[in-house]
Structure 1
Amino acid sequence: MNPEHETHDTIDSAELKTCCANAYQSDLARVLLGDSFHPGGVKLTEHLGRLLGLSPQQRILDIASGQGMSAITLAQRFGCQVLGIDYGEEAVQKAMQAAEAAGVAHLVSFQQGDAERLPVPECTFDAVICECAFCTFPDKPTAAAEFMRVLKSGGRVGLSDLTRTGRVPDDLQGLLAWIACIADAQPVEEYTRYLTNAGLSIDLVETHDSALVEMVQQIQGKLLGVELLARIKKIELPPAIDFEQAKALAKSASTAIRARQFGYVVITAGKPA
């Protein structure tokens, strides 16, 4: 059974995108995940930038840019111009504030948009990055086609995401697991297939499973503290989050990761010149 189909039986694509956006622009996400909402943090973002050969004067599109840390990091490290697109309006506002605070607002901008219908012209970016978000897109073939559309000839894609081997366990399916990037994690071969079917040529596939292990351990360590903050009203939880479910999900995810059912991968691909 395909978990993507299973989830779509109970929630439509628009509602799924809204739930994910609300979760990732919440206070809870920042406390649990820190400034970078993906395994490996800014170090892996910088590594991805080096793999793509980013440099000043280049235009980069950061898809599902969240609260802006990756876009800001790329501008600071490589001097490139970055546009971040995110589905969440509040996330976009927070990202703009973060860029101002970091002193890179002249290089970095953000706007609201859908990864499956990017609000940008075709052939306008030297590189596209998408970190730990592609697996949450309901229509992955269309999102991959959008990567291809907005790239200049010879442009590059940098993708990092959660991977799985075999079937997703029953206790790691459903809306909360989808928001956590688990329910529709794909085998590596599926990610590369989406990209190649869109017309891109795969350059590199790297595994970074240790980054995922470290992130899940950090989340488990923070959950009890966050629950206390919620009880004393110091933090507001998004409506889709239930703490007992969240703790059970984190435990199940940790077990599955140790069993090598889940991992983390970096993929780069290019558009023909």
Structure 2
Amino acid sequence: MTDNVNTEKLNTIYEYIRVAHGGGAYEKLDESLQPRPPEMLYDFVERLNLVSGSTVLDVGCGYGNNTCDLARRFNFQVKGIDIVDDHLEFAQNAALKQGLAEQVSFIKGSLESIPFEDATFDLIWCRDVLEQVQNVRQFARECDRVLKPNGSMVIYTIFATELMEPKEAARLYKTLGVVPESMSASFVEECFKDAGLQILTTEVIGSELMQYYEERDGRATKELMRLARMILAKEKFLSQLGQTNYEVTSALYHWAIYQLIGKLSSTIYTLRKTV
């Protein structure tokens, strides 16, 4: 009886394997789900109905791309803060080249001790930052402090899902400087609420942005093949790249792939200061 059941199961499995590589209903999986571009994040800002000239803080501004876009799109006055010197220099030069020096400026600062006075900003923008914040609870308190009454936040961040294995997470987080607590949606949301920030909307978009990048320019496919070559010829690329560069690059490529296969998932929040 056991052999018969196992044979029947294998027959079914291999039938699915055969057709999964073929056409038929599976061709639907080749059709785009029409993922939105990253500019759709600005739609969440637009819905807040902030007036021209509103003051905005871009926390963890990186190279200033979003900082400049917020100023140009909405005519906001935008400050960017970051702890990486190279980011700040590049961002300031970018603002100058785009003619935004009167609207945009950058300053070095910690997200757990934001270098601005209380009630300074109408909006805080936070994209791809929370994952590396050492103390999210303190960061949330600081955001609440520098926001004006009824001020808002727009946050894009990535969380781990139940598909992420502990050893995978440990290896990835250590290499990329990711804080494990920050990868938990329940913990991050608790920090928001404890700081007095009301969650207005939560939109889980999963791998939507990564799907957009893949359909636009094959980013994930390119990085997957790079990773495969790095693994197959590890010693060669260790020698060429060096140990640290090899590990960081490998982790970065895993980060993109894990988004596509659901081990990592993106979420967009809008929040409002309640006090």
Structure-2-length-normalised TM-score = 0.71
Is the contact between residue 59 and residue 124 of structure 2 (CA under 8 Å) also seen in structure 1?
yes
| Stretch moving more, 260-269 or 78-87 | 260-269
Bigger drift between 80-89 and 204-213 goes to 204-213
**d(CA) in 1 for partners of 2:52 and 2:145?**
22
User: What CA distance in whole angstroms lies between the structure 2 residues aligned with 1:178 and 1:205?
Assistant: 29
Residue 82 of structure 1 deviates from its aligned partner by 0.3
Q: CA deviation at 1:40?
A: 7.2
Q: Which amino acid aligns with 1:264?
A: S
Instruction: Work out the CA distance in 2 between the residues paired with 1:173 and 1:103.
Output: 43
Distance in 1 of aligned mates of 2:122 and 2:40: 20
One-letter identity of the residue aligned with 2:253: A
SS at match of 1:242: helix
Residue 86 (structure 1) aligned with residue 82 (structure 2): yes
Matched to 1:173, the amino acid is A
| Distance in 2 of aligned mates of 1:215 and 1:185 | 24
Q: Does 1:115 align with 2:111?
A: yes
1:246 corresponding residue in structure 2 = 249
Is the Cα–Cα contact under 8 Å of residues 177 and 249 in structure 1 kept in the other structure?
A: no
Q: 5+ unaligned residues in a row in structure 2: which ranges?
A: 1-34, 231-235
Q: 2:96 aligns with which of 85, 93, 100?
A: 100
Q: Residues 194, 213 of structure 1: CA spacing in aligned structure 2 closer, same or farther, 3 A cutoff?
A: farther
Distance 2:45 2:69 in 1: 9
Structure 1 140/102 Cα, relative in aligned 2: closer, same or farther at 3 Å?
same
Is the Cα–Cα contact under 8 Å of residues 40 and 212 in structure 1 kept in the other structure?
no
Contact 1:52 1:127 in 2 (8 A): no
- Tell me the TM-score normalized by structure 1: 0.71
Report whether the alignment pairs 1:269 with 2:271: yes
Q: 1:186 to 1:58 in 2, by over 3 A?
A: same
Matched, 1:61 2:64: no
Q: Report if aligned partners of 2:176, 2:251 keep a CA contact under 8 Å in 1.
A: no
1:218 aligned residue: 219
DSSP-derived class of the 1:263 partner: strand
1:143–1:240 distance in 2 versus 1, CA, 3 Å: farther
Distance in 2, Cα, partners of 1:156 & 1:51: 11
Q: Which amino acid aligns with 1:221?
A: K
SS at match of 1:157: strand
| Aligned residues with identical type, % of pairs | 24
Partner of 2:130: 134
The CA distance in 1 between the partners of 2:204 and 2:85, in whole Å, is 32
How many equivalent residue pairs?
Answer: 225
The Cα offsets for residues 93-145 of structure 1, whole Å up to 9 and x where unpaired, read as 11010001111111111010000011110111001111011121011100111
Higher relative contact order (CA 8 A, sep 6+): 1
Matches within 5 A, 1:101-250: 101-166=97-162, 168-174=165-171, 179=176, 185-209=182-206, 210-215=208-213, 218=219, 221=222, 224=226, 241-243=244-246, 246-247=249-250, 250=253
Per-residue Cα deviation, 1:58-97 (whole angstroms, up to 9, x for no partner)? 0000000001000100011100100000011121111010
Structure 2 contact 210–260 (Cα < 8 Å) conserved: no
Aligned to 1:26: none
Larger Rg: 2
Extract unaligned runs of 5+ from structure 1.
1-38, 232-236
- Match of 1:62, SS state, is strand
What is the rounded CA distance, in whole Å, between the counterparts of 1:41 and 1:95 in structure 2? 22
